[in-house]
Structure 1
Amino acid sequence: LAPALGGLLVQWLSWRGVLWASLPLALVAIGLLLAWMPADGERRAPHLQAYALATAMSALGVLLLALTWLGEPGHRAAGAVLLLIALLLAVAHLRHARRQVHPLLRWSLLSHRGLRLAMLVYLAVPGVFIGSQLASTLQLHQAGYSAARIGALMLPWALASALAITASKRLLARFGAVRVLRIGMLLQATGLLLMALLPQPLFAVAATLFALMGAGGSLCSSTAQTLAFHGVEGDALGDASALWNLNRQLSFCLGTAAIALLLALAMQWLPARATSVALGLAAVLTLLPLALLHRPQLLSLPQPENA
């Protein structure tokens, strides 16, 4: 509902109205938290590793800024330098983590195939979708859509997403994770590709394409969450959950930065087709994890019950 309501606020008031509307919702959430959550008991918190936290946060922040500047003609050299700095910070963080008995983030868990694949799927599917909304919003605006109508397109997306999440457990049991992931990626990629090929779609057509993307993205995200923790031992679940949630939030930032970079480059080289090019490339990025699903070592992932 939030994008639809946000579109109305932008159209009736201004884009600042979206930010002001968040304040009362945040206050209500804080009130509910204080009313419903039991107080924490006495417990010792683990020591926060300042160096690990600083290098991790700096690497991610610098990486996002580098991706932004690489799309701007006057900042590309600085963007390349920042990309190198982000790499060096990441290396420093990982080297420090290897020397710790209890690292801030337990990167060794990435040896778990399900978790590693799930994190990549989240980057390539939900993350790319969030980023693709930059291009699709611009395309629909150029086609004459109002802010309210663009926001309303997320309603069929949300409905299809809810249906996919509800059906994902049954689909996983019947077809297995590999097939469900393939179907989800193909659905989202199809929606993005058709958006690229139809720069001025009718509202019903655009709603159908968003429904395809909602169904495909949610099939992948719910399946990925199952894979992420399948076979992880109980004492490692907390650390695996930290990696999973970090990647999930980061996916939206990196997906947006990556598609914004592609859109900025397309606007410089092919201004008349910039949004179509960006959406087409987003469809390609969505399909990248398909290559991993053909590898024999993925046979250990959950398969159909009659396999």
Structure 2
Amino acid sequence: WRLLQGLAGGLLIPVAQAAAYRQCSPEQRGALTRRILLVALLVPALAPALGGLLVQWLSWRGVLWASLPLALAAMGLVLAWMPANGERTAPRLQAYALATAMSALGVLLLALTWLGEPGHRIAGAVLLLLALVLATAHLRHARRQAQPLLRWSLLSHRGLRLAMLVYLAVPGVFIGSQLASTLQLHQAGFSAARIGALMLPWALASALAITGSRHLLARFGPAAVLRGGMLLQASGLLLMALLPQPSFALAALLFALMGAGGSLCSSTAQTLAFHGIGAEALGDASALWNLNRQLSFCLGTAAIALLLALAMQWLPARATGVALGLAAFLTLLPMALLRRAQPLLLPQPENA
């Protein structure tokens, strides 16, 4: 069932985004991008608050039932609003490229899972090597294609490459860190509803950061904004690690720090990703960007789960704190590359 959910969700994001862009003029797309990003960040942030209440009042199955009327409403809006598509020509599906890419990702996620389990570490190491082989096969095949499934050559664009790494290390790591922080807060006596409600201050801080990021970029440049965002999120994670039994007010403040920091980085990264890319390459760059955005959440969760599993074996009394501390360290990793970010994006006028 998770496979079906992933297939459907993977189709929805790029198709909906492309459809929205087609309805806008070029000068409207900047504002549209910010609105899409705001929804993409705030909805997953607000959902745990409602989910916590449903779990507490009903059961975990109530969360699944609650999504059904929302899906039906969205289908109704599609039928009412979406224009009918004309005749379109589709490129040939590259089965080998798709199979090797999906297999490499699946094997990698399974390898990271098994590396954290004492009885499966050898198998996990073998799977890690297999994932590398599959990824190499995919890239070699892509180089021989005139129109590859994914245009990896765009990674030579420094802004796109840096933006993808930032998204992996900041929003991706944050999503993964919620596994450890939820466990820690549960052990501290927080109910499911209170844990979910902590995403509300995260969402508020996130919204303020997204709306203010444009002005901060114009005034300070991307390197300073990214550096500040990383420090804010890392500070929230580190304080969460050092304070295993915070009050609700303090926990809300720490989540607000993480929300502001993570969203400063994600909105700046999205701006960097497409700056300087020609119009003919925007579609391919968007595909790489959206793929990386989704994979960041998967890989970030798998990485933090691996660290948490290892910490539970070696330092069981402080496992969640160790995992959150390491998450703070991972958040700061791209900072070494930020000295190259400043020339990539110059401050622009408000009406640019």
TM-score (norm 1): 0.97
In the other structure, the counterpart of 2:140 is 95
In the other structure, the counterpart of 1:252 is 297
Point out the more displaced range, 158-167 or 36-45. 36-45
Q: Identify if the C-alpha distance between structure 1 residues 4 and 299 changes in structure 2 by more than 3 Å, giving closer, same or farther.
A: closer
Q: Quote how far apart the aligned CAs of 1:303 are.
A: 3.5
State whether structure 2 residue 213 is matched by structure 1 residue 168: yes
Q: Write out per-residue CA displacement over residues 153-204 of structure 1, whole angstroms, 9 at most, x where no aligned residue.
A: 0000000000000000000000000000000000000000000000000000
Distance 2:77 2:156 in 1: 39
In the other structure, the counterpart of 2:333 is 288
Distance 2:325 2:96 in 1: 40
State whether structure 2 residue 175 is matched by structure 1 residue 135: no
In the other structure, the counterpart of 2:343 is 300
The answer as to whether partners of 1:189 and 1:286 remain within 8 angstroms in 2 is yes
**Quick one: which amino acid aligns to residue 107 of structure 2?**
V
State whether structure 2 residue 268 is matched by structure 1 residue 218: no
In the other structure, the counterpart of 2:276 is 231
Q: Write out per-residue CA displacement over residues 192-238 of structure 1, whole angstroms, 9 at most, x where no aligned residue.
A: 00000000000000000000000000000000000000000000000
Q: Runs of 5+ in structure 1 lacking a partner?
A: none
Indicate the SS of the match to 1:180. Answer: helix
State whether structure 2 residue 71 is matched by structure 1 residue 26: yes
Distance 1:18 1:71 in 2: 29
TM-score (norm 2): 0.85
In the other structure, the counterpart of 1:46 is 91
Distance 2:177 2:65 in 1: 25
Q: How many residues align?
A: 304
The answer as to whether partners of 1:157 and 1:214 remain within 8 angstroms in 2 is yes
The answer as to whether partners of 1:134 and 1:256 remain within 8 angstroms in 2 is yes
* 1:77-116 correspondence to structure 2 within 5 Å: 77-116=122-161
Distance 2:68 2:290 in 1: 24
In the other structure, the counterpart of 1:151 is 196
Identity of aligned residues (%): 87
The answer as to whether partners of 2:222 and 2:342 remain within 8 angstroms in 1 is no
Q: Quote how far apart the aligned CAs of 1:65 are.
A: 0.7
In the other structure, the counterpart of 2:14 is none
Distance 1:299 1:194 in 2: 29
Distance 1:289 1:30 in 2: 40
In the other structure, the counterpart of 1:274 is 319
Distance 2:61 2:127 in 1: 31
Distance 2:348 2:54 in 1: 48
Indicate the SS of the match to 2:145. Answer: coil
Q: Write out per-residue CA displacement over residues 48-69 of structure 1, whole angstroms, 9 at most, x where no aligned residue.
A: 1000001001100111111011
The answer as to whether partners of 2:173 and 2:331 remain within 8 angstroms in 1 is yes
Q: Write out per-residue CA displacement over residues 84-133 of structure 1, whole angstroms, 9 at most, x where no aligned residue.
A: 11110000000000000000000000000000000000000000000000
Distance 1:110 1:276 in 2: 35
Distance 2:343 2:105 in 1: 32
Q: Quote how far apart the aligned CAs of 1:305 are.
A: 5.9
Q: Runs of 5+ in structure 2 lacking a partner?
A: 1-45
Distance 1:97 1:131 in 2: 30
**Quick one: which amino acid aligns to residue 270 of structure 1?**
L
Q: Quote how far apart the aligned CAs of 1:46 are.
A: 1.1
**Aligned residues: CA RMSD:** 1.1
Distance 2:301 2:103 in 1: 18
The answer as to whether partners of 1:175 and 1:303 remain within 8 angstroms in 2 is no
Distance 2:278 2:111 in 1: 37
Distance 2:154 2:332 in 1: 25
Distance 2:63 2:323 in 1: 26
Distance 1:101 1:304 in 2: 36
Q: State which of 40, 48, 55 in structure 2 corresponds to 1:3.
A: 48
In the other structure, the counterpart of 1:182 is 227
Q: Quote how far apart the aligned CAs of 1:299 are.
A: 4.1
